Each structure stands twice: as structure tokens, then as C-alpha cells.
Amino acid sequence: MAYDPDNVFAKILRDEIPSTRVYEDDEFVAFGDIAPSAPTHIVVIPRLVDGSAPTSPAALTEGDAGMVGRLVLAATRIAAEQGLVEGGYRLVLNSGDDAGQTVHHLHLHILGGRRLGPLA
């Protein structure tokens, strides 16, 4: 799937759509999900590189391994900043329509703030 530069996350990165940012650095931006599935529901996305980003985990290559590791590390730092470490939290990467992926820009969900149910 080709990257759509007009997807909602690309627009958030360009500040065309407002977001409640809780973290950002040179590589990632994190913000509150507009339809939270838990008391804390944060989405972490990579910034665009040359106007694009991987569309999903299925689109990742070996060359993305470092970025994905840093994405997970950023998410764990954000979870700690949000006070989620003691009670626990969930990190979720969806890949494709059947998994519930609605925006085709790689993103990681941080969910916490209450006991979460089983995944399946």
C-alpha cells in the first residue's frame, strides 16, 4: 500500500489537525487518542521522512529495526511519565484492516489506567 500523505496522522504532524501532544522529539510525536479505549490512550507515530512513513508493521523492513526499537522505548518512557508503570500498560501495533488499523501510518497505542481485558 502506498503512503497517503493526506492521512489524519500526516495532517497532525503538519499541524493541520489539532492534537493533545504529550511527547515529541526529532523522531516521534505522541498524542491522546480522540476515541480512547482506556482511561489513558496515547498514540505514538513516527515523523515523516521524505514525506512518508511506513504504513503498517507489515510494511517494515530490516532497515526500520532501529526506528521500531526507539518507538517502543519512547512508548515506555511516555507510559512512565503518565504513571502507568506500577499498574501496567499495553502497547499495541495493528497491521491491516482485519486487525482494526484505520490509519495507514505506522502507529503504536499505549493503553492503561485500568485493568484491561484479554486480547482475544
Active site residues: 107
DSSP 49: B
First CA to last CA across the chain, in angstroms?
Answer: 27
Q: Taking a C-beta distance cutoff of 8 angstroms, is the pair 75, 110 a contact?
A: yes
d(CA 120, CA 67): 28
d(CA 36, CA 60): 26
DSSP 62: G
